[in-house]
Amino acid sequence: MIDISLNDPASRSLRVREFYLGRQPILDRNQDLFGYELLFRNAPVGPAHIDTELTATAAVIAHASQLGMEKVIGDALGFVNVDAEAIMSDIFGFLPREKVVLEVVETMSPTPAVLARMADLASHGFRFALNDVRGDSGHVQDMLPMVEYVKMSMGGAPLDSLVKLAPRFRQDGKKLVAGKVETREEFKHGLELGFEFFQGYYFSKPLIMSGKKLSPSQLAVMELMTLVTSDADNLEIERAIKRDVSLALNLLRLVNTPAVGARQRIDSLSQAVTILGRRQLQRWLQIMLYAEPSKRGHSMTPLLMLAATRGRLLELLAQKLRPSHRHDADVAFTVGIMSLMDTLFGIPMTEILAQIPVSAEVADALLERAGFFGDLLRLAECIERLEEMENQIVPTLRGLAMSTEELIELEMAAFEWSDTVVRYAL
């Protein structure tokens, strides 16, 4: 266990691995990744008990900092919840001020001491977000000068309140964040009201459209995947890659990254295919399905990040639980990647599996969340939706005979891997 050395005595004995750390994406108007809200939940196992907001905030900050903030949020911003007690403490030395936004709630009492401390932190480069704003109270007005972001829940505030408040905060130069956006209709409504950022998982819910067809780029990737899995020769694979310039350029970029470890620069597709190998080539193609051709190499779409993180986490879980079965890790990665294809393509999963032959255990995992791989997938989904599914984590962990400590280490590794892949390979 790793101690957290903080001035507050209540948090001195806290251990960084005795809680769950989730992250919820925050997107911009183009639905590109902008930041993450870091979510804390106390694990129901272990000797420590975290029962105050300060120790909860301290846990998130210390955990993210000691394991490396870049592993948790990559190039995005991290939004961390703080209360008056946390603001008045000295825990902020852990945080890179250019990477985080401190969230305070509208109901927090802005005493003169708290306001002075907020002003001091702001003068040192820390940014604030005012969360769950439902009105224009005196508290809001007192804190507004120090606040850069104003968050309003699309499901919590009445519509007439949103219509009234959004223009007022925009006029004051505040950046508006729509919270709890769970449907595409809510996202569209937020756009109309002038919100700049959106928080929620509406982007990961399948929008099924009858008669929807794959784009030419997606078809090219699918055809390549078929060639790779059917043991076509390298020359045939190389010719198929050349037909999609974007794929060719990104493959060359990938094999020349430090992660691949080529000893000299690779400039030919033939060399690239040989060096990468069939297993890694298939994995890269699975991820490339989620990268829009117009955005490859330019931005991180949330669905791409979610798919890459989910695939890697399932792979690491399978490696941990079945270390002598390497094939299971590959299957687990595929299950993680494929679990979001209904959202990606706008086609029911049953139709996708009719077009892409998979084993019975993969189909059971994707359709029913059944079997070993279904348990892994369900666990990943619980972590992603920590606010609403945390009560399902412990039973699933128990069924897999895995500890909270092991889970969080693998989760951090998956965060770091997906950020690296998206940053360098796409």
CATH number for the domain that contains residue 71: 3.20.20.450
User: Is there a single domain that holds both residue 234 and residue 378?
Assistant: yes
Summarize the confidence of residues 56-73 as an average pLDDT. 69
User: Is there a single domain that holds both residue 171 and residue 215?
Assistant: no
Q: How many domains does the chain have?
A: 2
Distance CA 154, CA 372 (A): 37
Q: Which domain-ending residue is among 174, 204, 234?
A: 204
User: Is there a single domain that holds both residue 164 and residue 295?
Assistant: no
Whether residue 193 is contained in a domain is answered as yes
Q: What is the pLDDT of residue 49?
A: 44
User: Is there a single domain that holds both residue 154 and residue 288?
Assistant: no
Q: What is the pLDDT of residue 54?
A: 58
pLDDT, one tens digit per residue, over 307-344 is 999 999 999 999 999 999 988 999 999 999 999 999 98
Question: What residue numbers bound the domain in which 177 lies?
Answer: 9-204
pTM, rounded to two decimals: 0.82
Average confidence score pLDDT of the chain:
82
pLDDT band at 73; cut points 50, 70, 90:
confident
User: Is there a single domain that holds both residue 391 and residue 260?
Assistant: yes
Q: Which of 305, 323, 312, 288 minimizes the C-alpha distance to 425? A: 288
Distance CA 28, CA 177 (A): 9
Whether residue 1 is contained in a domain is answered as no
DSSP H or E segment with residue 150: strand 149-153
Q: Is the CB of residue 231 less than 8 Å from the CB of residue 281?
A: no
Whether residue 4 is contained in a domain is answered as no
Structure tokens given for 329: 């890790």
Q: Which of 177, 168, 176, 170 minimizes the C-alpha distance to 198? A: 177
The distance of Cα 114 from the centroid of its chain, to the nearest Å, equals 32
Summarize the confidence of residues 98-110 as an average pLDDT. 88
Percent of the chain's residues with pLDDT above 70: 84
